[in-house]
Amino acid sequence: MNLTKRFLGYSVIGVGTFLFDLYLLNIFTNKLGWYYLQAVVASFLIAVSMNYALSRHFVFKGTTRSVTAGYIYFLQIVLVGVLLTTGSVYILVEFTSLEPLQARVYTAGIVGVFNFLMNNFFNFKVK
């Protein structure tokens, strides 16, 4: 699979898991009353774990890394992503009039592209 097809497949999965992320963020903040930064981290980590499983199966077929090793690399990339996401959401909420869900939407594209590039070039070793 070439880079463009891989990016498109990753993007489709990413949109789905991002919508799930937003759903969880809404539940955690508006229904359960969690502090928004805790909710951002929790929803992000759940959604990206789902993203890993789906991406590994559908986008990065033929990877030479084991599931465990790939997930460990993935979590390292995600750690940077969650820091970027949380920091960006914090800045946007605290210094603008954006709500947490709006701020999360604004940060999604940048962090999503970062995650794809890191996973494509450093994590998954596709045959």
- pLDDT tens per residue, range 20-77: 999 999 999 999 999 999 998 899 889 989 999 999 999 988 888 888 888 899 889 9
The number of distinct structural domains making up the chain is: 1
Inform me whether the pLDDT recorded for 123 exceeds 90.
Answer: no
Amino acid type, 124: F
Domain of residue 35: give its range. Answer: 3-123
Radius of gyration for the chain, computed over Cα atoms and rounded to the nearest angstrom: 15
Average pLDDT score over the chain? 90
Residue 22 exposed, middle or buried by CB count within 10 Å (0-12, 13-18, 19+): middle
